[in-house]
Structure 1
Amino acid sequence: MADLTMWLEATGALAGAGGLGYAKVRAPRVYWSLVGLPVTWGRFTITYRSTMDVCGLTVQPSRLRAFLARNVARREVLPVPPKVRRVRGTSTGLRVTLRLPAGLEPADLMAASERLRHAWGVHSVMVGETKPGYVELRMTGYDVLSRVRMPRGARPDGLAVPVALREDGTAFVRDYRKVPMALTLGANNSGKSVYQRNLIKGLARLPVALVGIDCKRGVEQKAYAPRLSALATTPDDAASLLDVLVAEMESRFDLLSSRGVSDVWELPAGLRPVPVVVLVDEVAELFLISSKKDEERRERVVTALIRLAQMARAVGIYLEVCGQRFGSELGKGATMLRAQLTGRVVHRVNDKQTAEMGLFCCMCGCLTSPVAWDTPSPA
């Protein structure tokens, strides 16, 4: 009987170890919740002060605190690390809110993030400022981009669409109310098309009109034609469609003027026109011309795009422009249009200048950290 009990215990231990090993590879969220989170939380709690000290993230205490330590507590005066305000476990990692002491700034923690990652044995540590004096350490216990699984709360809402998963396990949300016009740059096979498909998939669930401009004969957007309100597949069709959009914009401005408001969202729900999202794939095709007779069409297209980018936000018309490269080499009006596209998403590009062109002087909180997507099927 004793031998049988020992055999069962050994078999159970081996099965448990094998199950944990399988979960670590095939179900990393389960493994993290059962093993990784308790171990990391304990390691963080035990080594926090010493880790902050060796990483240079401590400051000398105030004179009052030093006086009390020496004369009241009768102990050595120690450097002060950031004060832990909150520790919260998630299905992908650990979130720690810190109160920074005088003398430290978020950049100090960002510079030490790689050292903190190794000290606490996590996959990555990212630092985000939540409010003045407070930062959040976002630790991930495993590579969340290897198998994309969007957070449960990531659902389209209003005009906000979650389209990608960030490296820290949070969703990147494309919110057209906050950032109405955007430019997406990326080389071939960089994920730019998948990003656009995810946008269409998310927007398709919302009460918005989708307008597609795909001058590659519709190879990217034609699969979604049943959901699109209009689709232009040639530069000539795009010019006609943009003229219609400009006319719609002007009629909406007449409506706002008659009601004495300055924004479409100030109108009563019964009078508010449906929002329109214009998805432009490979914008360079609208700028390039093969002969002099195409110049007039190009001027129409560029003028219409610039007018929409400058004014259409107030009337609920939004631009989502995609391209491999988008700069002054495309000709007159290109840089003027790019300057109106506040949101910037830069995927893998072929040259440094394209990345700088997309992100330089962009103040909207662009998507620059690594991300991954689910690949949606055509609607």
Structure 2
Amino acid sequence: LEPADVMAASERLRHAWGVHSVHVAEVKPGFVELRMTGYDVLRKVRMPRQRLSGPMTVPVALREDGTAFVRDYLKVPHALTLGANQSGKSMYQRNLIAGLARLPVALVGIDCKRGVEQRGYAPRLSALAIAPEEADSLLDGLVGEMEERFDLLSAHGVADIWALPEPVRPVPVVVLVDEVAELFLVATKKDEERRDRMVTQLIRLGQLARAAGIFLEVCGQRFGSDLGKGATALRAQLTGRTVHRVNDKQTAEMGVGDIAPDAVVTVLTIPPDRPGIAVAGDTSGGWSRIRTPALTASEAAAICAAHAHLTPDLPAVAAYRPAAPASGAAPELVPLVKPSPATA
């Protein structure tokens, strides 16, 4: 026997034991692990207790075998998340941001929908761009930050920020791109020049920034080669892939078709009445179905506000530091009618 033989028999084992699913994983040569679930754990998500194993580890969702799907930036530095409207993509982002907000990292947002998705996270963001023009300058600043960090690595003779002494180690940065298509779409010739520059900077960050402690989280409703020059080159740098329900086959193929062709069919069969379900994988070829727990935008914003003291300053992009919304007591109400004293 080999693990493939046991995997081929997993469906027969499921029926023989009367369970919901059987998952097979190779532990070491000669040993496999059978994980059985008696019911559909993705119907009502309950995250298991997870002991974090690294400085850049965030549990985000639940796998269909009952284990936690964890975003580990030291193992998978950059990722692409896709999903149509009402697919649960925003819920995935909220869970990710809520987990990152608790870590000593800098969060940089790019939300070209005028900030409607990420404005609520302002207390925890070191920078936020809400239009393509701002995103252009912000990406230039991030590339400059990356180059300064490479100078620091060179001066200390190391190839990674985690090898630097802690007193001089720069804070890790996670760049959250909400709708990547907005960076590719153009209307005029001038827009084309800006688009090419932004895409080039994103590709540079994807190729080089991991060693400098800068990580990309790219999200979008649709992703295809017709977005324009540089789309497939950018995708090639995004190791992690999470694809929710999508509206066209090409997006599913661009998301997981190059790493796990058999997962494309699973993506295309995600029902619209179960938002949050997605297929998650990476360039190793492994993939699984996941579902994120429910988290409202106000709950995610409250978590960011509670951890605002962890927000570091990034001088390279300080011009885009968002102003935190005013908090505290409700504003004093001013009467519209001037009161007059009562007379006897």
TM-score per shorter chain, which class? 0.7 to 0.9
Query: What is aligned with 1:214?
Result: 111
Note the C-alpha offset of 1:105: 2.1
Alignment partner of 1:374 out of 262, 282, 294: 294
Does residue 167 (structure 1) correspond to residue 64 (structure 2)? The answer is yes
Note the C-alpha offset of 1:367: 4.6
Alignment partner of 2:10 out of 95, 105, 113: 113
Give the secondary-structure state (helix, strand or coil) at the position aligned to 1:368: strand
Query: What is aligned with 1:364?
Result: 284
Of all paired residues, the percent bearing the same amino acid is 75
Note the C-alpha offset of 1:156: 7.8
In 2, the alpha carbon distance for the partners of 1:179 and 1:235 equals 27
Aligned 1:78-97 pairs, distance under 5 A: none
Query: What is aligned with 1:134?
Result: 31
Note the C-alpha offset of 1:114: 2.2
Alignment partner of 1:148 out of 40, 45, 49: 45
Aligned 1:286-301 pairs, distance under 5 A: 286-301=183-198
CA contact (8 A) 1:109 1:127 kept: yes
Query: What is aligned with 2:149?
Result: 252
Q: C-alpha deviations, 1:268-303, integer Å up to 9, x for none?
A: 011100000000011000010111121221122111
In 1, the alpha carbon distance for the partners of 2:184 and 2:175 equals 17
Amino acid at match of 2:11: E
In 2, the alpha carbon distance for the partners of 1:209 and 1:132 equals 41
**Which deviates further from its counterpart, 258-267 or 144-153?**
144-153
**Which deviates further from its counterpart, 211-220 or 141-150?**
141-150
Alignment partner of 1:324 out of 221, 226, 230: 221
CA contact (8 A) 1:183 1:321 kept: yes
In 2, the alpha carbon distance for the partners of 1:212 and 1:141 equals 40
Query: What is aligned with 2:212?
Result: 315
Give the secondary-structure state (helix, strand or coil) at the position aligned to 1:225: helix
In 2, the alpha carbon distance for the partners of 1:309 and 1:155 equals 25
Alignment partner of 1:125 out of 3, 19, 22: 22
Alignment partner of 1:200 out of 97, 106, 110: 97
**Which deviates further from its counterpart, 348-357 or 131-140?**
348-357
Note the C-alpha offset of 1:368: 3.3
CA contact (8 A) 2:61 2:290 kept: no
CA contact (8 A) 2:225 2:232 kept: yes
Distance 1:365 1:193, change over 3 A: farther
In 2, the alpha carbon distance for the partners of 1:281 and 1:119 equals 45
Query: What is aligned with 1:231?
Result: 128
Q: C-alpha deviations, 1:313-332, integer Å up to 9, x for none?
A: 00000000011222210111
In 2, the alpha carbon distance for the partners of 1:340 and 1:238 equals 19
CA contact (8 A) 2:48 2:68 kept: yes
Q: C-alpha deviations, 1:21-78, integer Å up to 9, x for none?
A: xxxxxxxxxxxxxxxxxxxxxxxxxxxxxxxxxxxxxxxxxxxxxxxxxxxxxxxxxx
CA contact (8 A) 2:110 2:129 kept: yes
Instruction: State the Cα RMSD in Å.
Output: 1.6
Q: C-alpha deviations, 1:109-166, integer Å up to 9, x for none?
A: 2222222112112121111112222211110122222221111125584101000001
In 2, the alpha carbon distance for the partners of 1:192 and 1:250 equals 32
Structure 2 unaligned residues grouped into runs of 5+? 260-282, 303-344
Q: C-alpha deviations, 1:152-193, integer Å up to 9, x for none?
A: 125584101000001111000000000101111111111111
Give the secondary-structure state (helix, strand or coil) at the position aligned to 1:202: helix
Does residue 350 (structure 1) correspond to residue 226 (structure 2)? The answer is no
In 2, the alpha carbon distance for the partners of 1:269 and 1:374 equals 36
Query: What is aligned with 1:275?
Result: 172
CA contact (8 A) 1:345 1:367 kept: no
Distance 1:198 1:144, change over 3 A: same
- Give the TM-score, by structure 1 length: 0.70
In 2, the alpha carbon distance for the partners of 1:280 and 1:308 equals 13
In 1, the alpha carbon distance for the partners of 2:251 and 2:43 equals 27
Note the C-alpha offset of 1:360: 3.0
Query: What is aligned with 2:76?
Result: 179
Residues paired across the two proteins, number: 276
CA contact (8 A) 2:95 2:292 kept: no
